[in-house]
Amino acid sequence: MSNRQNTRILVTSALPYINGVKHMGNLAGSMLPADVYSRAMRLLGHEVLYICATDEHGTPAELAAAETGLSVSEYCDKMHEAQKAAGANFKLSYDYFGRSSSEATHRLTQEFAIALEANGFIEERTSQQVYSVADRRYLPDRYVEGTCPNCGFESARGDQCDNCGKLLDPVDLINPYSAVSGSHDVEIRDTNHLYLKQSDMSGRLRDWVETHRADWPALTTSIAIKWLDEGLRDRAITRDLSWGVPVVDADGKVRAGFEGKVFYVWFDAPIAYIGATRDWAKETGGDWEKFWRLDKGAEDTRYIQFMGKDNVAFHTLSFPTTIMGSGQPWKLVDELKAFNWVTWYGGKFSTSQKRGVFMDKAIDIAPSDYWRWHLMANAPESSDAAFTWEDFQASVNSDLANVLGNFVNRITSYCVKKFDGAVPAGGSITEAEKWLEAELDERLPRLVEFYEAREFRKAMAETRAIWAAGNEYLTQAAPWTHYKSDVDQAAMGVRVGLNLVALFGVLAQPIIPDAAEKILAAMSIPEENRTWNFRGGESCMNALPIAHPVSAPPVLFTKIEADDIDAWTERFGGAG
């Protein structure tokens, strides 16, 4: 493990939309795994840059702002800070949490569009769109409602009827009205938009996706191939809105006929990955180009994207079309990690029906470590994963409190009581130490492999198994039994046990950073000794110097009681 090459790694997680605080499923499906991965890679000595940002444009932001009485810009300022704070509460270790509304992203978006048009990948076309006279705005399909021509349902949305499920075109709705104001004064107008000619890129996209069949998860490639098989359609990348990136010509002036139009959020949102990196560079003096420009060192960067499955098409097809079509040496993603959904007792999260927990409330209920551990140990990697309070309780009580917390407590407090809180010398190697060494030699490399492969459930299970091995070792070594007749031999068990506490703290860092910090502080482990330079089980068992001071940390994990579950179910909904 010692001769691993240090790599430069760029990590991005799908941009959370500006409206509202995200629920635990959003956290589990992109930001949290990206964070755990970034932390692990940093510990392994890699150069990691983890970038995320709020996705701020689009109709929903405009409407939400109007409801609060704030300007869109003020509203976004406020919500950006709220999301930033929520991320901080969950200890998301972004190197930079930017905004798609930043100057850098605006300029890049415009530059990409100009380059794409010069290369023939953008075309101006006319389409029909519903315009609401009362609202003085064009309405996205789902903001137009009316009677379903198929089943007669009276409040069918323009994109799909909630009653019969049929896909609709808003133009076909009978008696259409604006979902924003309820006004029936709506009309169909012709409007010009820029289209990204994804169809012309199909061949190159397919070749590129095919080369990754082996190293991308099946979830990722199957979705991309599905879209390609159905035939990529050209996609409008502008909208009739005022809040967003203006459409300009090469001279920087608004494009003729595009007054009152901006780029579609899904054109500029992924570009915000680059924009946010530039903003990071501006703020820190870092070099953004070595992460993004192939001609400036990005050939040596490994770029990994984290996202929910709904985002796969945009990251495997649309954004790559933008990158490839620009004809410029931009970095394409190397590896994608896509997640399924976390469901709420098998159903959907729903704010209106009080079903589900959102990041701001979740942190009031339980410490971030609890959520981080449970969501990663039960990550929706191969299929949707059901969240239940009972499972949450089991993860926290069994894995964190009983296996890890109790281990740390039992051996540190014993050391304080019997060995004056100092790592004791003495004793000889027994079967117990040999067993433990073999166990660590097998499990530590495997753990690292799981992290590198971004197999989160397996990495968590392996971590837990290592913690459990500590308890098993203590049972075998039984220092409390030896203490009665052979204090030196008891010292052996205590010393190795304390080394395990330090090791467990080191291993816990990417997942449960707060608890890890408490453990490492109680063990007085200096910063430079907290990295993942494992040199085999034997050295892990003898890392602490003799007489090194040790204290017993306060209870690390308070258990979740049945009463808590009842109260939370009452407050947030559950099986009922």
Partner RNA sequence: GGUGAGGUAGCUCAGCUGGUUAGAGCGCAGGACUCAUAAUCCUGAGGUCGAGAGUUCAAGUCUCUCUCUCACUACCA
Residues 505-534 within binding reach of RNA (CB under 7 A): none
For the segment 195-214, give every residue that binds RNA (CB under 7 A). Answer: 198
Residue 189 Cβ vs RNA, minimum distance, rounded to whole Å: 11
Structure tokens, 437: 């060494």
Please check whether residue 207 is in contact with residue 224, taking contact to mean a CB–CB distance below 8 angstroms: no
CA 369, distance to chain mean position in Å, is 15
- DSSP assigned state of 358: B
Please list every residue from 260 through 289 that binds RNA, using CB under 7 A. 264-266, 269
CB 335 within 8 A of CB 304: yes
* Coil, strand or helix at 344: strand
- The amino acid sitting at 55 is D
The verdict on 535 binding RNA (CB under 7 A) reads: no
CA distances from 571 to 289, 362, 365, 369, 411 (A): 48, 11, 11, 21, 38
Chain positions 317 to 336 lying near RNA, rule: CB under 7 A, are none
- Closer residue to RNA in complex, CB, 165/257: 165
* Paired strand residues for 13: 306
In the numeric block, the tokens 């796969």 are attached to 312
Strands (E), 106-261: 122-132, 137-138, 144-147, 156-157, 174-178, 186-196, 235-236, 238-239
The answer to the question of residue 59 lying near RNA (CB under 7 A) is: yes
CB of 370 to RNA, least distance (A): 12
Neighbour count for residue 356 (Cβ, 10 Å)? 23
Closest separation between CB of residue 213 and RNA, Å?
A: 12
Stretch that binds RNA, among 398-406, 436-444, 502-510, 535-543 (CB under 7 A): 398-406
Considering the complex, state which of residue 250 and residue 438 has its C-beta at the smaller distance from RNA.
438
Contacts of RNA in 104-163 (CB under 7 A)? 127, 129, 140-142, 158-160
Q: At 301, which helix (H) or strand (E)?
A: strand 301-308
Rounded least distance, CB 289 to RNA, Å? 27
Length of the chain: 576
The strand pairing partners of 147, in sequence order, are 174
351 binds RNA per the rule CB under 7 A:
no
Comparing CB distances to RNA, the nearer of 248 and 312 is 312
Nearest approach, Cβ of 476 to RNA (angstroms)? Answer: 7
Based on CB atoms, which residue is closest to RNA, 53 or 281? 53
SS (H, E, C) 177-193: EECCCCCCCEEEEEEEE
Q: Minimum Å distance from CB 195 to RNA?
A: 9
Which of 173, 219, 525, 544 touches RNA (CB under 7 A)? 219
Question: Which of 90, 113, 2, 39 is CA-nearest to residue 509?
Answer: 39
CA distances from 130 to 77, 163, 199, 330 (A): 30, 22, 26, 37
The answer to whether 511 and 33 are in contact (CB under 8 A) is no
Which of 85, 133, 151, 394 contacts RNA by CB under 7 A?
A: 394
Comparing CB distances to RNA, the nearer of 110 and 311 is 311
Q: Which positions from 226 to 265 touch RNA by CB under 7 A, shown as an x/- string? A: xx--xxxx-xx--x------------------------xx
Paired tokens of 407: 């281990």
Determine, following the binding rule CB under 7 A, whether residue 500 of this chain makes contact with RNA.
Answer: no
Q: Which of residues 549-568 bind RNA (CB under 7 A)?
A: 555-559
Least distance in Å: CB of 446 to RNA? 12
Q: Which stretch binds RNA (CB under 7 A): 277-285, 378-386, 425-433, 441-449?
A: 378-386
Query: Which one of residues 6, 398, 524, 539 is an interface residue with RNA (CB under 7 A)?
Result: 398
Residues 76-95 that bind RNA (CB under 7 A): none
Which among 25-33, 80-88, 350-358, 461-469 is the span making contact with RNA, rule CB under 7 A? 461-469
Map tokens 């200890």 to a residue. Answer: 91
Residue closest to 259 by CA, chosen among 240, 243, 273: 240
**Of residues 20, 193, 223, 36, the one with CA closest to residue 123:** 193
Residue 348 CA: distances (Å) to CA of 32, 139, 142, 354: 20, 26, 19, 11
How many residues of this chain interact with RNA, rule: CB under 7 A?
A: 86
β-pairing, 186-196 vs 235-236, is: antiparallel
Q: How far is the CB of 115 from RNA (least distance, A)?
A: 21
By beta-carbon proximity to RNA, the closer residue of 213 and 571 is 213
Q: Interface with RNA includes 480 (CB under 7 A)?
A: yes
Of residues 15 through 34, those in contact with RNA by CB under 7 A are 17
Nearer to RNA, 153 or 314 (CB): 314
Q: What residues between 158 and 197 interact with RNA by CB under 7 A?
A: 158-160, 165, 167, 193
Binds RNA (CB under 7 A): choice among 68, 71, 353, 481: 481
- Rounded CA gap, 216 and 313, in Å? 14
By CB under 7 A, tell whether 403 contacts RNA. Answer: yes
CB nearer to RNA: pick between 299 and 566: 566
Please report, as residue ranges, which positions from 405 to 434 form the binding site for RNA (by CB under 7 A). 405-406, 408-411, 413-414, 417
Instruction: Examine residue 301 and tell whether it contacts RNA (CB under 7 A).
Output: no
Nearer to RNA, 204 or 348 (CB): 348
Query: What minimum distance in Å lies between the beta carbon of 184 and RNA?
Result: 19
Instruction: Show the tokens assigned to 30.
Output: 């992109």
Partner residues linked to 37 by β-bridges:
none
Q: Are 454 and 30 in contact (CB under 8 A)?
A: no
Question: Cβ distance 168 to 155 under 8 Å?
Answer: no
> Among 401, 448, 460, 506, which residue interacts with RNA (rule: CB under 7 A)?
401
